[in-house]
Amino acid sequence: MKTLTVALPGREYEILIQRGLLDGAGEYCRKALPRAERLFVVTDSSVAPLYGARLEAALAAAGFSVAVHIVPAGEASKCAGQLAGLWEAMMAAGLTRTDAVVALGGGVVGDLAGFAAATILRGVDFVQIPTTLLSQVDSSVGGKVAIDLEAGKNLAGAFWQPRLVLMDPDTLASLPDATFADGMAEVIKYGCILDGAFFHFLAARPDRGEIMGEIEHVLYTCCNLKRMVVEEDERDTGKRMLLNFGHTLGHAYEKAGHYEKWTHGQAVAAGMVRAARLGERLGVTPAGTAKQIAALLAPLGLPVDIPCTAEEYAAAIGLDKKGAGADIRVILLERLGHAVAHKMPKAALLEELK
C-alpha cells in the first residue's frame, strides 16, 4: 500500500492507494471515523451497479449502519436541486453530527457529496472513494467541494477536507478509454506545472496499458504533488492557483459546449495547449512547449484545440476565481515542470485570445 498524509493542522488525513482496497474500506473508515454509527453513501447510476454492493458490504462488516443514495450520472447532477435532495435524504436516514458521508464515484459525486457534507448540520465528516482517474489524481484531494450554477461551473462551494481518501486502482479497469483519457489530462498537468521529470516519464508511456502498468506510481506522484501544494496554500490564494493551468480557458470551452460537448479533461487538455501558446507569445514560455504538450495529449485522443468565440472567452474569464477587479492571474509555464501566475489585465488577455 502507498500512503500519503495531508498535514493540515487539525484537519490531517491519509490517502491510501492499493489494488483491491475497496473491499477493506470498512476497516479503514472505522479507524478514521471512530465515533460514527451511520454512513451515508452517495454514488451515481453508473458506479452503483459496479461497486455499490461491495462497498456497502465492506462498511456493514465494520459495524456501520449504511444508507445509499444514487444520483443520475453526469455533470447535470452537480446542481442545487440534487444538493437539496441529499440534505433531505440525509435527515431521513437519521444522520447526526458524529456520522459521516462517503462519496463513491468520480468528481461529480465527490463534489456534490462533499458540499452536502460541508453544509448539512453545519458540517459532518466525509470520506472520498474516487473511482475515476480524474477524481483519484485531482478532485478527491484538497477539500474543494462545489456545485454548478447556471452562470458557470463550481461557483457555489466550500473548502471541506475529507477525513480519509481511499483509492483502489482496480476501479479504473471499468472506465471507457475516453474517460480514462479525461483523467490523463489532469495527470499530464502535474508534469507541466510541477515536475518536468514526471512529464517525460509520461511521454515515454503514451498509451493506457503502459500507464496502468505504473498506475500506483502515477497516482502517488500526482497526489503527492497536490498534497505539497495544498499544505502550503489550502485556500487557493497563492501556489494552489498553479493547479488551474489550462482551466481558465478550459472552463470557457466547457461553458461554450453547455457542459455536454466537451468533458472537463478534454477542455483542460485544449486549455493547456492554448495557455502554452499564449505563454510563448508573451515571452514567458519557451518556444515549442505547446507542441510538446500537444504531442503527449493527442495519442490519448484528447483535443489540442477547441473553437471558442471572443464572447465565450469573455464570459468565462469574467467568472474566473483567479480574477481580481480588472486583472487576472493566468497560469503560464516558464518551462516544463515550472508554472507561474502571470498577472495581466483581463482586456489584454482577451485581446491575445482573438
Reported confidence tier of residue 321, pLDDT bands at 50, 70, 90: low
User: Which position has the higher pLDDT, 268 or 151?
Assistant: 268
pLDDT over 70 percentage in the chain: 99
How many whole angstroms separate alpha carbon 171 and alpha carbon 73? Answer: 16
Task: State residue 323's pLDDT score.
Answer: 65
Region 309-316 average pLDDT? 88
Task: State residue 95's pLDDT score.
Answer: 98
pLDDT tens track for 8-34 = 999 999 999 999 999 999 999 999 999
Task: State residue 318's pLDDT score.
Answer: 79
Task: State residue 269's pLDDT score.
Answer: 98
Q: Which of 223, 238, 228, 308 is nearest to 270 (CA)?
A: 308
Q: Is the pLDDT of residue 320 over 80?
A: no
Q: Which of 132, 127, 120, 166 is nearest to 143 (CA)?
A: 127
Looking at the chain, list the stretches that DSSP marks H as alpha helix, in order from N- to C-terminal side: 25-32, 53-61, 80-92, 107-119, 133-134, 177-193, 196-203, 208-213, 215-232, 247-256, 264-282, 289-297, 310-319, 346-352
Of 20-24, 39-43, 86-90, 307-311, the one with minimum mean pLDDT is 307-311
Reported confidence tier of residue 237, pLDDT bands at 50, 70, 90: confident
Q: Which amino acid is at 150?
A: E
Q: Which amino acid is at 257?
A: G
How many whole angstroms separate alpha carbon 188 and alpha carbon 177? Answer: 16
Q: Is the pLDDT of residue 212 over 90?
A: yes
Task: State residue 128's pLDDT score.
Answer: 98
Q: Is the pLDDT of residue 260 over 90?
A: no
What does pLDDT average to over the chain?
A: 95
Task: State residue 319's pLDDT score.
Answer: 73
Reported confidence tier of residue 256, pLDDT bands at 50, 70, 90: confident
Q: Tell me the CA distances in angstroms from 283 to 17, 69, 102, 244, one per residue in order.
A: 40, 51, 46, 20
Q: Which amino acid is at 101?
A: V
Task: State residue 338's pLDDT score.
Answer: 97
Structural contact between residues 339 and 192, judged by C-beta atoms closer than 8 angstroms: yes
Region 58-86 average pLDDT? 97
Return all residues near 96 (Cβ < 8 A) that are at least 6 apart: 37, 38, 121, 124
Task: State residue 247's pLDDT score.
Answer: 93
Burial classification of residue 272, based on how many CB atoms lie within 10 Å of its CB (0-12 exposed, 13-18 middle, 19 or more buried): buried
Region 267-292 average pLDDT? 97
Highest mean pLDDT among 120-124, 235-239, 251-255: 120-124
Q: What is the CATH number of domain 177-352?
A: 1.20.1090.10
Place of cell 473508515: 29
Reported confidence tier of residue 326, pLDDT bands at 50, 70, 90: confident
Task: State residue 325's pLDDT score.
Answer: 77
Q: Nine-digit cell at 35?
A: 465515533
Sign of the Cα pseudo-torsion (126, 129, 133, 137, in order): positive
Task: State residue 341's pLDDT score.
Answer: 95
Spans of all domains in the chain: 2-174, 177-352
Q: Which of 217, 165, 160, 209 is nearest to 187 (CA)?
A: 217
Task: State residue 324's pLDDT score.
Answer: 66
pLDDT tens track for 147-187 = 999 888 899 999 999 999 999 999 999 999 999 999 999 99
- In words, the CATH class of domain 2-174 is alpha beta
